Structure 1
Amino acid sequence: MFPVLALCWLAVFFDGMDVNIYGAVMPHMLDDTGLGLTPDSAGTIGSWTTFGMLIGALTAGNLTDWLGRRLMLVASVSLFSAGSALCAVAGDIGLFGAGRFVSGLGLGGLMPLCLAMVMEFAPPRRAALTTGLLMTSYHFGGMAATGLGLTLAPAAGWRWVFWAGVLPALVAVPLLLRLLPESPGVLLARGERDKADAVADRFGLPRPTEVAAPAAGAAGRLAAVRELFRPESRWATPLLWLASFCGLLLVYGISTWLPQMMRASGYGLNSSVSFLMVINAGGIVGLLIAGRGADRFGAVRVSAIWFLLTAAGALLLKAHLPLGVTYLVVAVTGVWLFSAQVMVYAATNTVYRDSERAAGLGWVTGVGRTGAVVGPWLIGELAASGNESWGFTTFALAGLGGALAICLVPAARRFGRGGTTAPAPVTADARS
């Protein structure tokens, strides 16, 4: 599965770079009086991005029936590259916000597609670890964005950082078109049995069956959503949605606002932007730890502990600590923060059957995007009123909410089965 993981890793790397670019250059943009950006409008624009992600995530599944996952990935990368170019030429916040919305449309579709591809091609009993490896790329991308914010923005201006965001269309798109295979399950759902079997044989996968194939067409999609609320998962599904909401509120709230929040707390401009790089570096370490831990102890258990530790880290950041200690707290918080959300995705593997996996994952990410919309907007409102420090309390509460929701998933599954201890109707890639 290495080619699939490598290509999806590259696509998610550029996803992470695009998401974090805005936070990395926001302090410079707020200092640019010609653009007219204010803390209030900055939070609103951050929510435009994530609102575009919400639409993109919920739309991608239906378009996949028509275009396939490979071409949808190409379309997603092309969209957020085009949005970055629009931001680079924007002369006012209206056009800039439109560019971030276009970027969001592409970003929203990309993540669930890459996750579904990697889970499908992953070796048996390594779904959580493979998911963690994939998501390290998001944080490498975030670190790249921070590096651009620290070097390119002061030297050449913030617009050149967004011009760098056009690189995905030039680098990733040709590679995806040439090298990425189509999903065997999608090929089978479209009636292309021979192609589906050929791809499965090439990558050493079991040949897909009708049970494993995702439902096609609008009627099939509605049926797939109904299946998410069958007795065994009807209570677990909304809990996964709530956990994803809390996780993505944390991820996008912090990715958008951490530098400005730290600057408002009294840290210097360069240090404040550097915190974004440090927290993404911690995220890489955390995903490697969480992936192995989830394969051994279960994605649900790891996600719950990680959410609780994130809440503790957010409360520590509320205090103005010495710079060296603050760097350490930010790094350790990054270890827990991002992988808590990724393990929510991995936990879907314990709840949904093979035929429901794509729909279940798509709705967990899609509904969770409402948290990504709320996070940047809410912190923007707090910043506009001079209460940035309350943002850390908001993040701590989101961590507690995510921990509670994901903790209840195993009990919800047992309750849905009438209290029986029958095994889950999926392969045990990650125990709950």
Structure 2
Amino acid sequence: MSRLAPSARGSRLALLVVGLCWLAVLFDGLDMFIYGSVLPHLLETKTFGITADQAGDLGSYATFGMLVGALTAGTVADRIGRKRLMIGCVTLFSLASGICALSGSVAVFGLGRTLAGVGLGGLLPTAISMVSDYAPRGRGALVIGLLMTAHHAGGILSAYVAKWLVDPVGWRAAFWVCVVPLAFAPVLVKLLPESLSFLVAKGRTDEAHALAARYDVELPAADGKKSAADRWDALLALFRGREWIQTLLYWLASFGGLLLVYGVATWLPTLMRTEGYELASALTFVVVFNLGGIVGMLVAGRAADTFGAPRISAIWFALTAAGVYLLSVHLPMGVTTLVVFLTGVFLNSAQTMIYATVSIRSTPDNRATAVGWTSGMGRFGAVFGPWLGGQLLAAGHGDWGFTAFALAGLSSMVFIGIAALRTARPGARAGVDQELVTAH
């Protein structure tokens, strides 16, 4: 048998890396969405005596853990390597799901969700870096977009796990399924290569050159790390002159956007139950919502390239707000399913368009800082969203849940719309795609 040509070997390696990272992100999505999928059962059976406001707190624990994981992932990856960090993240959120499955109290369950969130928050940016290193030349945006679909595929899987296991076996079985990815960690150890960017950054150039030449992939350029003073100056630049107005608008838009994303992701099945739908139907909406998310991720970039990211972000948030509000109205099943699908299309990509807007309108030397801090401020909205839904439900205002989330979408539309009125900086397009997806 003849040996593979270099380009074929590079394609084979890219397929391997993308496939492994896609599965890891699939498990990430499963673990993230499983709580929202089993939450209606937990509340109806009064598991641990859990109340609606406690349920909201538990949802926020995971998103707080994600904030910690996302903020620390880069530093940890620079020390131990992206491959080891990915393995560590998969191991952490799998074992944390085991803690949830074994828990006998709200406190222990909350600890499990917090630890799971740390692993979940660290995995996605690390996986994106990995596939970017090994993507075939000219296909970087394509493979990143493909990777992002895995998270929503995990959300779809979580709904089916809940439908198949919770009623006949119990809610703990759903979390035991989330422990299964632990068996995937040895596969990553054996098959996943180390990040080329990490090898270059650590001065292991011979190893990096050999790997890049063997599989015909492009070797990343050495990344000149900024000093602490440089990073501080880049942050201060976001507030010099009248830039603080623009920066604040972006942060507020991101806060409302992620409040909406994680609030709906956590409470969608439960709120649909309060609207009178059966549990099976409520979980079907989770499937449809995430199918919309996959479609939205595939079409948003093209729409933004045609009409501009700021305009698309504002329009997407307006359509999201309309869709979320309509979910509070008991419509015929077919109409509701369509509304849930379209809401998933717009909601899950509207936030990404905020990052695109920030990236396009930032100078090249300050872009990473601007996008990173916009994402970081938005993460506080991700923590607040699940808590807000729980407070409304606990106060007997579950019917206001969708309205509150719709108002968050409208606020993001207003903030990003005002920010977009400022003149865009020219020549800031390069590098947008990877940075905006990594921030998400």
Give the TM-score, by structure 1 length.
0.86
Residue 395 of structure 1, aligned match among 388, 391, 405 = 405
C-alpha offsets along residues 239-285 of structure 1, whole Å, 9 cap, x if unaligned?
A: 54433322221221111111111111122222122211111111112
SS in 1 for 2:90: helix
Q: Does 1:175 align with 2:187?
A: yes
1:373 corresponds to which residue?
383
| Amino acid corresponding to residue 52 of structure 2 in structure 1 | P
- How far apart are residue 156 of structure 1 and its match? 0.4
- How far apart are residue 26 of structure 1 and its match? 0.8
In the aligned structure 2, how far is the partner of 1:349 from the partner of 1:120?
Answer: 21
In the aligned structure 1, how far is the partner of 2:353 from the partner of 2:270?
Answer: 28
SS in 2 for 1:154: coil
| Amino acid corresponding to residue 427 of structure 2 in structure 1 | P
Residue 197 of structure 2, aligned match among 185, 197, 211 = 185
Residue 316 of structure 1, aligned match among 298, 302, 326 = 326
Give yes or no for contact 1:307–1:400 (8 Å, CA) kept in 2. yes
- How far apart are residue 391 of structure 1 and its match? 1.7
In the aligned structure 2, how far is the partner of 1:60 from the partner of 1:72?
Answer: 8
- How far apart are residue 237 of structure 1 and its match? 5.3
C-alpha offsets along residues 189-235 of structure 1, whole Å, 9 cap, x if unaligned?
A: 3233333444555565554334xx1627xxx4663464355479965
In the aligned structure 2, how far is the partner of 1:271 from the partner of 1:168?
Answer: 27
1:102 corresponds to which residue?
115
2:104 corresponds to which residue?
91
| Amino acid corresponding to residue 39 of structure 1 in structure 2 | A
Give yes or no for contact 2:288–2:337 (8 Å, CA) kept in 1. yes
Going from structure 1 to structure 2, the CA distance change for 1:340 and 1:408 (only over 3 Å counts) comes to same
In the aligned structure 2, how far is the partner of 1:13 from the partner of 1:354?
Answer: 32
1:417 corresponds to which residue?
none
Give yes or no for contact 1:58–1:362 (8 Å, CA) kept in 2. no
SS in 1 for 2:49: coil
How many correspondences in the alignment? 420
Q: Does 1:223 align with 2:230?
A: yes
In the aligned structure 2, how far is the partner of 1:295 from the partner of 1:285?
Answer: 16
Q: Give the 5 Å matches for 1:12-411.
A: 12-119=25-132, 121-122=134-135, 128-171=141-184, 173-201=185-213, 206-210=218-222, 213=223, 215=225, 220=227, 223-224=230-231, 226-230=233-237, 238-347=248-357, 350=360, 362-407=372-417
Going from structure 1 to structure 2, the CA distance change for 1:206 and 1:314 (only over 3 Å counts) comes to same
| Amino acid corresponding to residue 112 of structure 1 in structure 2 | P
SS in 1 for 2:164: helix
In the aligned structure 1, how far is the partner of 2:137 from the partner of 2:201?
Answer: 22
- How far apart are residue 22 of structure 1 and its match? 0.6
In the aligned structure 2, how far is the partner of 1:125 from the partner of 1:285?
Answer: 22
- How far apart are residue 399 of structure 1 and its match? 1.6
C-alpha offsets along residues 367-387 of structure 1, whole Å, 9 cap, x if unaligned?
A: 322111000001100000011
Give yes or no for contact 2:360–2:428 (8 Å, CA) kept in 1. yes
SS in 2 for 1:91: coil
Give the TM-score, by structure 2 length.
0.85
Name the stretch that deviates more: 188-197 or 320-329.
Answer: 188-197
Give yes or no for contact 2:239–2:247 (8 Å, CA) kept in 1. no
2:428 corresponds to which residue?
424
Give yes or no for contact 1:379–1:391 (8 Å, CA) kept in 2. yes
C-alpha offsets along residues 162-197 of structure 1, whole Å, 9 cap, x if unaligned?
A: 0000112212x2233233333333333323333344
Name the stretch that deviates more: 132-141 or 155-164.
Answer: 132-141
C-alpha offsets along residues 43-66 of structure 1, whole Å, 9 cap, x if unaligned?
A: 011111111111111111211221
- How far apart are residue 8 of structure 1 and its match? 2.2
| Amino acid corresponding to residue 110 of structure 1 in structure 2 | L
Q: Alignment RMSD, CA only?
A: 3.1
- How far apart are residue 305 of structure 1 and its match? 2.5
In the aligned structure 1, how far is the partner of 2:390 from the partner of 2:415?
Answer: 26
- How far apart are residue 68 of structure 1 and its match? 1.6
Going from structure 1 to structure 2, the CA distance change for 1:131 and 1:239 (only over 3 Å counts) comes to farther
Give yes or no for contact 2:37–2:162 (8 Å, CA) kept in 1. yes
- How far apart are residue 114 of structure 1 and its match? 2.4
Question: Percent identity among equivalent residues?
Answer: 48
- How far apart are residue 363 of structure 1 and its match? 3.9
| Amino acid corresponding to residue 175 of structure 1 in structure 2 | V
In the aligned structure 1, how far is the partner of 2:350 from the partner of 2:342?
Answer: 13
Give yes or no for contact 1:249–1:375 (8 Å, CA) kept in 2. yes
Going from structure 1 to structure 2, the CA distance change for 1:296 and 1:187 (only over 3 Å counts) comes to farther
